[in-house]
Amino acid sequence: MGQYQRPLVSVFLSRLSPDAQMMRLIGSLTELGRSTLDLLVPSHCPFCDEIVDAEGLFCARCFRQVEFVTDPVCAICGVMFSYAGQAGAGSCCSVCLANSPAFSGTRAAFRYDTHARKLILQLKHADRIEFSRILAFHMTRVGSAQLREAQFLVPVPLSRRRLFQRRYNQAALLASAISRATGVMVLPDGLVRRRATQPLGHKTAAERHAVLRDAFAVNPRRMRDIAGRRVVLIDDVMTSGATANGCAVALKAAGAVSVTVLVAARVPDPRLA
């Protein structure tokens, strides 16, 4: 078998140096393996399981139903406006205008509706970690401007107890996938939680902000990495922006030049619907 293979390979590789030959061979085999894998294991629409052309895409029917976030949005917290005239001074919502958060801008790929919720809850609670690549694909697209400026990606951290239960941090998975796509470095342990926080579901936006304002700190080992840098904070969902604000307060205190936020989905403000 080897006697037949060697002459065939050498025909293609004889003009290259040994290292380049090996790299070219590995590259060809990888491509061959990938295209074979695509044929054997086709990509599926994450909502309905229909076969699609490539990973990250939705089938035509689901694509029509998914709500991507499009302008107009608040320039700071990214909340969706129903019409352009809803923005106040500086293109902000009334909440940001009254109490400007520590981060300077937010982009979200999806409105947090039934579809986005399905993907994100399965990523968080059903071990569907492959959904992080799909969400990251759309986050990279919508966050292209802020990612071009960024020097580090920092995921919102989980509490130790939550990390132990879940075994992975979904925000860190999203940050890694975005880092692979863009080359922007990720600091998975850039932020730590000072303490676990109680569930915030029943709290008002003001109460959430008070609870989370000092809930985060920059990891002492990462202080030098953060100081003087432009950071993009990564999370799965933004609701009131209180978590992002708590993280941004800590990052700015450590000397970050700017903090913007990139999330998979943004919960609409019912007052703006």
Q: Which of residues 20-79 bind Zn ion (CB under 5 A)?
A: 45, 47-48, 50, 59, 62, 74, 76-77
CB of 195 to Zn ion, least distance (A): 27
Is the bond preceding residue 72 a cis peptide, omega within 30 degrees? yes
Stretch that binds Zn ion, among 83-91, 92-100, 159-167, 245-253 (CB under 5 A): 92-100
Q: Using CA atoms, how far apart are residues 105 and 147, in angstroms rounded to an integer?
A: 12
3-state secondary structure of 38: helix
Q: At its nearest, how many Å lie between Zn ion and the CB of residue 80?
A: 10
Query: Do β-strands 43-44 and 51-52 pair in parallel, antiparallel, or remain unpaired?
Result: antiparallel
Q: Does 272 help bind Zn ion (rule: CB under 5 A)?
A: no
- Kindly state the number of chain residues that form the binding site for Zn ion, as judged by CB under 5 A: 11
Q: Select 46 or 157, whichever has its Cβ closest to Zn ion.
A: 46
Question: Using the rule CB under 5 A, which residue among 69, 73, 87, 96 binds Zn ion?
Answer: 96
Least distance from Zn ion to the Cβ atom of residue 94, Å: 8
Q: What is the closest distance, in whole angstroms, from the C-beta atom of residue 5 to Zn ion in the complex?
A: 43
Nearer to Zn ion, 80 or 178 (CB): 80
State how far the Cα of 131 lies from the Cα of 62, in Å rounded to an integer.
16
Min CB(196)–Zn ion separation in Å: 27
Dist CA 105 CA 20 (whole Å): 45
Closest CB to Zn ion among 77 and 136?
Answer: 77
**C-beta atoms surrounding 180 within 10 Å:** 13
- Scanning residues 161 to 180, which ones bind Zn ion (CB under 5 A)? none
Report the side by side order of strands in the sheet with 152-155.
106-111, 258-266, 230-238, 152-155, 185-186
CB 186 within 8 A of CB 176: yes
State the residues that interact with Zn ion by CB under 5 A. Answer: 45, 47-48, 50, 59, 62, 74, 76-77, 93, 96
